[in-house]
Amino acid sequence: MKLDAKAIRYLTSEDFKVLAGVETGSRNHEVVPTPLIVQLSGLRGGSGVHRAISNLAKINLIAKVKNAKYDGYRLTYGGLDYLALNGHQKQKVVYSVGNQIGVGKESDIIVVAHSSGAQRILKIHRLGRISFRTVKTNRDYLRHRHTGSWMYMSRLAAMKEFAFMKALHENGFPVPEPIAQNRHTIVMSLIDAFPLRQIAKVAKPAKLYSELMDMVLELARFGLIHGDYNEFNLLIKEEVIPDADGNVADIEDAHDDQIKLTPIVIDFPQMVSIDHANAEMYFDRDVNCIKRFFQRKYHFVSDAPGPSFKDARKNFMKNPGKRLDVEVEASGFSRKMARELEKYMDEVGANTGEGEGDEENEDDSEEEDSEEEEEVNEDEPEQSSAADESAQRLEALEISGSSEK
Ligand code: ADP
Ligand code: MG
């Protein structure tokens, strides 16, 4: 499901009030009855509200549903996207929307811009998307949940990711700067870098490898395990080191030794505490993902065995950093929310790790669309980085109806 922001500028403030009414009604109605929408929109009934309803339905922000007893509407992902975008626009976080640069299993990644022109990343969490299409055994279970769940779970994922990114950023970890969260979306700084997956050659694999392992240990020292630490979720900045005279060569002309690689970690919805019941499994899996990738791609095998969970715990006991797992819990992403999200991810198989699109996971790709398959095909032309894509024109939102009168 792609974000199409084009129609947003034609929506009036009445349309947004009605859309927000459907959202509110969805909290306890699978199908929100039309009279309730009228009531929740806070507008006086009459042709205006009904015009707004049919407008919203026409552009698929709400969908008409007939249930056994009455007719009504439900909010679509598109409708939720528009509510979130409208929120970001009002907070002056997002001014225009550019290209979609990634379609993950459970998210869409879009380049957006602030009114200053600064480019940012909008990550839209879409839990439930892949699950419905590919995890057949879970369909019945999911069908019987109340419809709010995909919305709620996606919002939990966004809250969790934002809370962890904030704690990590504040404590000096190399992660994007978290800027805002609204519903199922977060806005963060754009990292001008390629995922490790796309870095064909590394001059000193041993150095990068040990930096990545140090980072796993450092995270653990702060009470955290990433849980999806792999070649897709590590962006590698390539910078040319200035020479003795302070001149910086063009990256294309630079010698391998002149290029400094800096890893940036992204993607935090599956992070767990070092006290988690399966902490050791997650930790080992993170270490092994990197180990396997370096072996396969760079033919690099470290002499030292990878750090073990025991090493990590020892480190953590002897010289603990701030407990970021505890800090996040206190920040509003509660233990109860963490449990709900984890349970959902376990049930739909979103927590299996091993990297999205990893060869070993291809058995569940039969129903995925071609975009997702492109990501796993090494023969495909390389994807461009977020910054390349964003050079293309950004679509200004100019949400006409969103300013309160
Ligand atoms: P998912 O949960 O779907 O895996 P990610 O957060 O890992 O989503 O993002 C998917 C891809 O989008 C990344 O592999 C990366 O290429 C790109 N991306 C995500 N965040 C950023 C960012 N802040 N800056 C630049 N590129 C990003
Ligand atoms: Mg990812």
> pLDDT by residue (tens digit) across 326-338?
999 999 999 999 9
**The ligand 1 atom nearest the CA atom of 190:** 24
Compute CA distances 22 → 143, 184, 214, 322, whole Å: 20, 16, 48, 42
Out of 120, 123, 162, give the residue to mutate to test ligand 1, the one with the largest number of ligand atoms within 8 Å of its CB. 123
Residues above pLDDT 70, as percent of the chain: 80
Q: In which band, very low, low, confident or very high, does the pLDDT at 150 lie, cut at 50, 70 and 90?
A: confident
- Measured CA to CA, the distance from residue 205 to residue 302 in angstroms comes to 9
What pLDDT sits at residue 380? 37
Class of the 194-333 domain? mainly alpha
> What pLDDT is recorded for position 402?
38
Lowest mean pLDDT among 194-198, 255-259, 314-318: 255-259
Whether the pLDDT of residue 134 is over 60: the answer is no
Provide the sign of the torsion angle of the four alpha carbons 148, 154, 155, 159, taken in this order: positive
Query: Which residue's alpha carbon is at the smallest distance from atom 16 of ligand 1?
Result: 195
Nearest CA to ligand 1 atom 4: 104
Average pLDDT over residues 133-142: 47
Domain boundaries for CATH 3.30.200.20 within the chain: 6-189+388-402
Residue nearest to atom 12 of ligand 1 (CA): 102
The runs of H, that is alpha helices, within 172-250 are 205-221
What are the start and end residues of each CATH 1.10.510.10 domain in the chain? Answer: 194-333
- What does the block give as tokens for 265? 């970690």
Tens digits of residue pLDDT in 26-59: 988 889 999 999 999 998 877 889 999 999 999 9
Residue nearest to atom 18 of ligand 1 (CA): 109
- The pLDDT of residue 230 is 97
Q: What pTM does this model have?
A: 0.86
Read off the pLDDT band of 405 (50, 70, 90): very low
Q: How far apart are CA 286 and CA 21, in angstroms?
A: 43
Query: Any residues with Cβ below 6 Å from ligand 1, and which?
Result: 102, 104-107, 109, 121, 123, 176, 188, 190-191, 195, 232-233, 266-267, 356, 386
Two tokens, residue 118:
């600064």
Q: CA torsion, points 219, 105, 198, 374, in degrees to nearest 10?
A: 170
Residues belonging to the active site: 228
Please state which architecture CATH assigns to domain 6-189+388-402. Answer: 2-Layer Sandwich (3.30)
Question: Which atom from ligand 1 is nearest to the alpha carbon of 197?
Answer: 14
Residue type, 57: A
Question: For residues 323 and 223, is the Cβ–Cβ distance under 8 A?
Answer: yes
Q: Which ligand is located closest to the Cα atom of residue 197?
A: 1
Distance CA 270, CA 170 (A): 19
CA 171 to ligand 1 centroid distance, Å = 21
How many angstroms separate the alpha carbon of residue 104 from the centre of ligand 2?
7
What residue's CA is closest to ligand 1, atom 15?
A: 195
Question: Are 224 and 324 within 8 A, CB to CB?
Answer: yes
Q: Which ligand is nearest to the CA of 236?
A: 1
Which atom of ligand 1 is closest in space to residue 383's alpha carbon? 16
pLDDT band per the 50, 70, 90 thresholds, residue 3 = confident
Count the residues in the chain. 405
CA torsion 180→181→187→191, rounded to 10°? 90
